[in-house]
Amino acid sequence: MSPAPDERDRIRAAMQRILTGRPEHSNGALTVVALALEAQVPRNALTQRHPDLRNEFYTHVRERSGISDAEARLRAQIVTLKQTIANKNEELARLRQDVPALVRALNQLTADNQALREQLQVPTPNVFPLRLGRQD
């Protein structure tokens, strides 16, 4: 069984899209798996039927220092996200440190509130209820 006539053309077009950072069907990684996905061919098409195209792809990757524009952007985004995670972890640690003090304050306010409510229940001797009706 011979490969489809346009298979090599699809692989070359996919190679070009990945190397220029414009993948359409893959994540744009500089791997044979991503190239196969981008070309919409089985991976063995590159490893068995077209090893010359696989080798050509890896040659281009080595010439570019192994990092495509898309991969460079993703790596920068990873660095940013790692910093965001570190910042959030620091914030979470600070909030966890604040919890015991807040619990103590809440307990004190609850006790004060209860004491004030109890004072309202006990009438003081200098407060007399007013009678609104007529006294005869």
What is the rounded CA–CA span in Å between residue 131 and residue 55? 104
pTM confidence score = 0.47
- What tens digit of pLDDT does each residue of 43-102 get? 999 889 999 999 999 888 888 775 666 777 888 899 999 999 999 999 999 999 999 999
Distances (CA, A) of 6 to 3, 28, 31, 71: 8, 21, 21, 28
Q: How confident is the model at residue 2 (pLDDT cuts 50, 70, 90)?
A: low
For residue 123, name the pLDDT band (cuts at 50, 70, 90): low
